[in-house]
């Protein structure tokens, strides 16, 4: 990835350090469904180095989404600790967590999560407005991000005027708006066909190459074969690295195809101030 592309995605890669981007220590989360107790996350420990692209796989109900929500501070563990870049978030206030999500974390969801009455540009710009960016910065940043994901000419289109792949590219642009250092993607290709899904993954791969830590939950074998690391969840627990039914099935198959050419263009013009 060029230095220019890295600047667009992450504001420049962070300096190398030994502090992991994510450090979860013996984390548990249970839910009560009537008389039944569901251990969605069961004593999970996980360390993710800065800049790594990690895929968490597992069958539906295995606990992947719950674990991502805990890492993002969207949910609270009943026991254990979670550190992001060395800072414990399990005891943070709601205000502190909101600030963290605005400036450190980015999110990409399976269902896109776009506001239907806003255009592609307005969906991206809203994240910057919430973060307190000025008008000029919002306009420049929105333009360059939509160009980055190949949607500059469709900036004024609303979600219903875009394909599923285009909507997910808008969602990725929105997630990158505030130059997060950690990007969490929950089944980002789950509602897309294989070709479009591969293009979205290629975009995430370039984001990771720019120094952003990317953690994704996925069933997509294409993604599994191209990330830095794969871990499998089963019944709320993380299996030892390299173990698991899905991981084994993927590795027994044919070699994964090469990454497709990126369906994105580098943005024109100078980078925004700061």
| Interval 142-175: pLDDT, tens | 999 999 888 899 999 999 999 988 998 899 899 9
Percent of the chain with pLDDT over 90: 46
Note the pTM of the prediction, 2 decimals: 0.81
pLDDT at 256: 47
- Extents of the domains making up the chain: 3-16+50-73+92-252
DSSP code, position 98: H
Pairing of strands 229-234, 237-238: antiparallel
Q: How far is CA 46 from CA 4, 21, 205, 253, in A?
A: 32, 11, 21, 27
Contact between 210 and 222 under an 8 Å Cβ cutoff? The reply is: no
Q: Tell me the two tokens of residue 162.
A: 């875009």
Q: Which fold has domain 3-16+50-73+92-252?
A: Rossmann fold (3.40.50)
Residue 148 burial by Cβ neighbours in a 10 Å radius (0-12, 13-18, 19+): buried
The DSSP bridge pattern shows strands 22-33 and 36-48 to be: antiparallel
Give the pLDDT confidence of 189-220 residue by residue, as tens digits.
777 788 878 888 888 888 898 899 999 998 77
């Amino acid at each position: 990835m060029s230095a220019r592309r890295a600047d667009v995605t992450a504001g420049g890669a962070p300096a190398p350090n030994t502090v992991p981007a994510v450090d979860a220590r013996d984390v548990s989360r249970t839910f009560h469904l009537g008389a039944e107790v569901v251990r969605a996350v069961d004593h999970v420990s996980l360390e993710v180095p800065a800049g790594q692209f990690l895929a968490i796989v597992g069958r539906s109900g295995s606990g992947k989404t719950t674990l991502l929500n805990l890492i993002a501070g969207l949910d609270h563990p009943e026991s254990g600790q979670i550190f992001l870049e060395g800072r414990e978030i399990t005891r943070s206030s709601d205000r502190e967590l909101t600030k963290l999500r605005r400036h450190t974390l980015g999110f990409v969801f399976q269902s896109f999560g776009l506001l239907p009455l806003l255009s592609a540009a307005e969906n991206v710009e809203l994240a910057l407005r919430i973060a307190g960016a000025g008008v000029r910065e919002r306009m420049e940043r929105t333009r360059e991000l939509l160009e980055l994901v190949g949607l500059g000419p469709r900036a004024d289109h609303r979600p219903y005027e875009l394909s599923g792949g285009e909507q997910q590219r808008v969602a990725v642009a929105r997630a990158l708006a505030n130059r997060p250092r950690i990007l969490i993607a929950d089944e980002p290709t789950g509602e897309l066909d294989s070709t479009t899904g591969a293009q979205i993954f290629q975009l995430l791969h370039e984001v990771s190459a720019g120094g952003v830590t990317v953690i994704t939950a996925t069933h997509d074998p294409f993604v599994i074969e191209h990330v830095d690391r794969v871990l499998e969840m089963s019944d709320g627990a993380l299996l030892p690295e390299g173990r698991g039914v899905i991981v084994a099935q993927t590795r027994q198959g044919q070699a994964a195809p090469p990454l497709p050419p990126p369906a994105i263009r580098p943005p024109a013009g100078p980078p925004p101030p700061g």
